[in-house]
């Protein structure tokens, strides 16, 4: 028996878009969020986001920042300009790379390791120690690497990617958790036409633009600081639209319907030309290790 999530439309499974192909960390995050949904892969972040805007899917899961690599800026830029899509939820997922190969291949048989260059770079220590003589081969994605190993065109090939990719492509896991850094965590957000009702443990993401002049940012943080609202993240980005202006992205603790939060947001709105609430949603906790 599958449990229908409360947000699923009546009469059919919820359709959840994600950045494909199957077997990526984004699909992993989507599966944790909505195990029973129908997952629809899209080739680019732009396509994923457009599918939410058009109503082609009910929700979408996209990566938004990584603890080692920072923000995923094209997603932020989409959110800033989006007409409908709101952040409805967040998901924290530790990046845990696995070495996988066709059944029968042992670590000592591996002659080539395939993956996205970023994943190869994240496993530099493991590869230097355990597979110093294996050739490192770039792939367009971790999932594409697993598919190529599965295809079997290269003997002694192994791929690096998430556990899910091994399951999808029928590969054996030779080693787990082979990444150098253990604080490599990706934050994903769920986009939907509506954000999340208040839970009491919420976070609100907002963005606004300010003039490139002394004290401009400081002034806009006043309404937040004076009310004792916690600011958990702030980031400035040059505005792509108007030169000499900056866009600030901020995460604050609380829900936009909380009276104190609502008052702070209104005050910021009055001091900026553009202010947008990207969504209020429950704060995520890190999942258990393992």
Smallest distance, a copy of itself to C-beta of residue 177, A: 18
Among 155, 170, 233, 266, binds a copy of itself (CB under 8 A): 233
Give the integer Cα–Cα distance in Å for 277 and 206: 4
What count of residues does the chain have? 290
CA distances from 183 to 20, 67, 101, 177 (A): 24, 7, 26, 12
Smallest distance, a copy of itself to C-beta of residue 250, A: 9
124 binds a copy of itself (CB under 8 A): yes
Smallest distance, a copy of itself to C-beta of residue 65, A: 8
Candidates 28-36, 51-59, 86-94, 115-123: pick the segment binding a copy of itself (CB under 8 A). Answer: 115-123
Among 107, 151, 173, 225, binds a copy of itself (CB under 8 A): 225
| Annotated catalytic residue within 24, 26, 105, 186 | 186
Our separate counts of H helices and E strands in the chain read 9, 15
Smallest distance, a copy of itself to C-beta of residue 169, A: 17
Which of helix, strand or coil describes residue 212? Answer: coil
Candidates 9-17, 86-94, 213-221, 273-281: pick the segment binding a copy of itself (CB under 8 A). Answer: 213-221
Q: Minimal CA–CA distance to 227: which of 201, 205, 260?
A: 260
138 binds a copy of itself (CB under 8 A): yes
Give the integer Cα–Cα distance in Å for 185 and 286: 9
Query: Which of left, alpha, beta for 192 (phi over 0: left; psi -120 to 50: alpha)?
Result: beta
**CA-based angle 215:218:259, to the nearest 5?**
145
Among 9, 35, 38, 69, binds a copy of itself (CB under 8 A): 69
Residues in contact with a copy of itself by CB under 8 A are 44, 66-74, 116-117, 120-121, 124, 136, 138-141, 144, 183, 212-215, 217-219, 221-222, 224-238, 240, 246, 248
Residues annotated as part of the active site:
186, 188
């Amino acid at each position: 028996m599958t449990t229908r999530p409360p947000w699923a439309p009546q009469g059919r499974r919820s359709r959840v878009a994600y950045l494909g192909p199957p077997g990526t960390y984004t699909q992993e995050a989507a599966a944790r969020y909505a195990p029973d949904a129908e997952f629809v892969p899209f080739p680019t972040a732009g396509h994923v986001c457009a599918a939410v805007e058009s109503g082609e899917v009910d929700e979408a899961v996209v990566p938004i920042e990584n603890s080692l690599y920072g923000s995923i800026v094209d997603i932020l830029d989409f959110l800033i300009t989006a007409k409908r899509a709101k952040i409805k939820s967040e998901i924290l997922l530790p990046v845990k790379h696995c070495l996988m190969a066709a059944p029968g291949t042992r670590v000592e048989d591996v002659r080539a390791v395939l993956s996205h260059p970023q994943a190869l770079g994240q496993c530099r220590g493991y590869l230097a120690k355990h597979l110093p003589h294996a050739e490192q081969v770039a792939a367009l994605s971790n999932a594409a690497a697993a598919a190529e190993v599965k295809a079997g065109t290269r003997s002694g090939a192994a791929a690096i990617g998430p556990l899910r990719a091994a399951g999808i492509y029928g590969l054996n896991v030779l080693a787990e958790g082979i990444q150098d850094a253990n604080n490599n965590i990706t934050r994903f957000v769920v986009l939907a036409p509506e954000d999340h009702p208040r839970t009491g443990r919420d976070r609100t993401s907002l963005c606004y633009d300010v003039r490139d002049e002394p004290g401009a940012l400081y002034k806009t943080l006043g309404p937040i600081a004076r009310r004792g609202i916690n600011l958990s993240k702030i980031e400035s980005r040059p505005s792509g639209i108007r030169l000499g202006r900056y866009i600030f992205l901020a995460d604050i603790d609380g829900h936009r319907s909380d009276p104190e939060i609502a008052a702070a947001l209104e005050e910021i709105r009055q001091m900026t030309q553009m202010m947008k609430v990207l969504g209020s949603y429950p704060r995520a906790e890190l999942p258990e290790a393992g």
